[in-house]
Amino acid sequence: MSLLRNHIVLMFLYAVATGLFFALLWKEERRDRIRTFLAIFCSLFFGGIALGWLMYPLPLR
């Protein structure tokens, strides 16, 4: 249960669920689905981490 309090775990779950959802909704073929899933998952998960690092110095002092 404490695992669900971890922000990285929650980000991961959110990215997986969203990626799966849109891959199934938008694409028909297996290969297209995998590609779409990976694109959405990486954008949300790694993009979120990258954005977090970019915002690290903020607010400027």
Among 10, 38, 39, 51, binds another protein (CB under 8 A): 10
Other Cβ atoms within 10 Å of 37 Cβ, number: 20
Applying CB under 8 A, the span of 23-31, 35-43, 44-52, 53-61 interacting with another protein comes to 23-31
The H or E element that residue 8 is part of is: helix 7-26
Query: Whole-angstrom Cα distance, residue 55 to residue 27?
Result: 34
Cβ atoms of 15 and 40 within 8 Å: the answer is yes
| 28 binding another protein? (CB under 8 A) | yes
Applying CB under 8 A, the span of 18-26, 39-47, 50-58 interacting with another protein comes to 18-26
Q: How far is the CB of 41 from another protein (least distance, A)?
A: 13
